[in-house]
Structure 1
Amino acid sequence: MKTRALALLALAGLSTGCVTSYAARPPLSFQDFDYSSPEGKPWPVKRLALPDTAAAHGLARVPEVAYVELNPEGTQTVLFIHGLGSYLKFWRYQLDAFAAQGYRVIAVDLPGFGKSDKPASFPYSMEAMGDVVHELAQKVGANKPILVGHSMGGQTSLSYAIRYPEDLKAVVLTAPAGFEKFSPREKAWFLRAFSTALVKSTPEYGIWGSVRQGNFERWRPELNWLIEERVRVAKSPEFDSYAYANVRTVNGLVHNDFVRDSLGRVTVPTLIIYGEDDRLIPNPFLHGGEVREVMSYGHEHIPGSKLVGLERCGHTVQMDCPQDYNQQVLAFLKGLESGARP
């Protein structure tokens, strides 16, 4: 199964054509990642210890997460949660734009990702991730935040919404995980096929394929930093703990029927927004199908939710089609201010 997964990555990479190679460039640590707007405006990075999460999950050491905050004077907090294998910089086209609209903006690196701690003892379940976001919101005084989660961040947002409904104003589920059904056999496949060795041994052309081809429909050169950072950080000592966090998180994602079975318990206003050319949902290696079918399942089971599909947009829709995405999400948020439901 590992061989098959590597072959799929290689085929994806070969289809990208002539691309820039970053393999000869020096290593880059997660802490050296450039967290800034597309215009180069740096974001101040803060850190927060999570003693409540540590106590709830029996961690001997209290982990810390990194986050950025813009426009702290804003009265309504919008809290952005990234997806699997990524970090808060994947909201590069949203943070300043939403802060400019008057919102208090917070974006977090979840445990195991970006500049946050990557403890091997952390559970990496969606419930634990939800606890992290909940504690962060409580500690920074974000009263009833609006959660905006992408992919895994969407499933984390759902876990939060189901378990802490009184501490939430609304959710924006961006190409969310959590709606797709995986059989016991498919879950076993994930355990066999997805390993730290696979994450660590992915060649550069496979990274080009999985990122550019798997996540985007409108790739443009300004996104090349996604490839460069991934290639160079793989040479850093911290990458082992990141690879382990990815594997544990995938296990947490697929073994989380609690979220899918509890969608009816989401009571806050909900926007589900996705790219109609998503190549990762549904899982293309297991059962295929159409992304619209998966997203429609969530829409049908979350009372009063709104469903929006964006044409010619891929899985990482907030970066692939930032203008269309921002327009739809900001309109949804403005509707909340007027008291309108989706």
Structure 2
Amino acid sequence: MKIKILFFVIALATFSQAVHAQKDTLRSLDMNLENYQYPFPVSFIEFESQAEKISMAYMVVQPEKGNGKSIMLLHGKNFNGAYWEQTAKALADQGYQVIIPDQIGFGKSTKPLHFQYSFQELAAATKRILDKLNVNKTIVLGHSMGGMVATRFTLMYPETVEKLVLENPIGLEDYKVKVPYQSVDKWYMSELKNDFTSIKSYQLNSYYDGKWKDNYTKWVNLLAGWTLNKDYPRVAWNSALTYDMIYSQPVCYEFNQIKVPTLLIIGQRDRSAVGKNLAPEDVRKTLGNYPALGRQTKALIPNSELVELDKIGHLPHIEDFDRFIAPLLRFAGKP
């Protein structure tokens, strides 16, 4: 019995040391991540929308020897363009021009004081970047919330999208059908409570199905660093608004209108669903069932194919890059 207690104490101490070590790497990050270096040079496009002056950040990675094609990578809700580094390098090595926006309200882009978020608004802003770069045709890859932006972008600008790739997108189901409504004010109050521990706990359980690797921590620190900054309330407010956008503006009813070739890359351990914690327990168990949702979505999208990645969660391009990039390159290169 004493031996078991000793082992438990040692394990608890080891865990505590690991948590403190991770927290020690935390530093305050300003609202637009001006004190955080991205992997590639950052440019900005300036415009006015809803009486707000918007500065939208983006990166462009040019290949040494181009193949004449572009691919645009759209980030998820709790991320920014920086987490596409490895993907962008691999695509550029294959000759693709890689375009990586930070959506309004995210990363290095403006966090507006007053803004009515919509996927149409984000898609239109993203199109401005392509217009500035004189890109008339591109492959579009969207991860998580970026999958919802990519879907709306494809529906709005079908002549611009050559192919569509959806990597563990959220919004494969209509959350408002199963999740009780929560006001923006309540989303905001919830966001204000975030810290390193709560953010890591959410990602551990929703994204990685309880299986953590040390290299995931830097993506927690990007969010947790904001919570240490005096301007975090404004970041939290924009986050609350985008949660409301995701909840109230489903795209899943329009999948059958997508006409371009589409690839679904779905990590099978993913159980992400917006507002999942708000649903009754019996309903909660049915949310975020990505194995079922992936097959259901493939059946809805004409000319689509599905790649199911077992033992991978919400972030295939972070969790197992080799298994992610192989089907992406094959699909992108198909005539």
Could you tell me the TM-score, scaled by structure 2's length?
Answer: 0.85
Show the 5 A alignment for 1:1-342.
Answer: 17-18=15-16, 19-21=18-20, 23=23, 25-29=26-30, 30-36=33-39, 43-51=40-48, 54=49, 59-71=50-62, 74=66, 75-183=68-176, 186-188=179-181, 190-191=182-183, 194-216=186-208, 219-257=212-250, 259-281=251-273, 284-285=276-277, 286=279, 287=283, 288-289=285-286, 290-335=289-334, 339=335
Q: Which residue of 2 aligns with 1:8?
A: none
User: 1:280 Cα shift?
Assistant: 0.8
CA distance in 1, matches of 2:142, 2:260: 15
DSSP 3-state at the match of 1:179: coil
Task: Tell me which structure has the larger Cα radius of gyration.
Answer: 2
Any gaps of 5 or more consecutive residues in structure 2?
1-11
Where has structure 1 moved over 6 Å in runs of 4 or more? Answer: none
Deviation at 1:122, TM superposition (A): 2.6
What's the secondary structure of 2:19's corresponding residue? coil
Equivalents in 1 of 2:169, 2:27: separation in Å?
A: 34
Pair 1:228–1:145, CA change in 2 (3 A): same
CA spacing shift, 1:282–1:309, aligned 2, 3 Å: farther
Higher relative contact order (CA 8 A, sep 6+): 1
Displacement after TM superposition at 1:116 (Å): 0.5
1:207-252 alpha-carbon deviations (Å, 9 max, x no partner):
2211233222553223321222322221123322221111111111
Q: Which moved more, 1:84-93 or 1:97-106?
A: 84-93
Q: Offset of 1:205 from its aligned partner?
A: 1.7
| 1:175–1:274 CA contact under 8 A, matched in 2 | yes
Identity %, equivalent residues: 24
Cα distance, 1:266 vs. partner? 0.6
Aligned-residue Cα RMSD (Å) equals: 2.3
Number of residue pairs the alignment of both structures matches: 308
> What SS does the aligned partner of 1:49 have?
strand
| Contact 2:194–2:224, Cα closer than 8 Å, also in 1 | no
Task: Select between 226-235 and 148-157 the one with higher mean Cα deviation.
Answer: 226-235
Q: Tell whether the 8 Å contact from 1:23 to 1:232 is kept in structure 2 after alignment.
A: no
TM-score of the two chains, using structure 1 as the length reference: 0.83
| Distance in 2 (alpha carbons) for counterparts of 1:261 and 1:182 | 12
Deviation at 1:300, TM superposition (A): 1.1
Gaps (5+ residues) in structure 1? 1-13, 37-42
AA aligned opposite 2:45: L
Offset at residue 203 of structure 1 (A)? 3.4
Does the CA-based 8 Å contact 2:172-2:252 persist in structure 1?
Answer: yes
Cα shift at 1:193: 8.7
Name the SS of the counterpart of 2:71 in structure 1.
Answer: strand
Partner secondary structure for residue 271 of structure 1: strand
Relative to 1, partners in 2 of residues 1:284 and 1:196: Cα closer, same or farther, differing over 3 Å?
Answer: closer
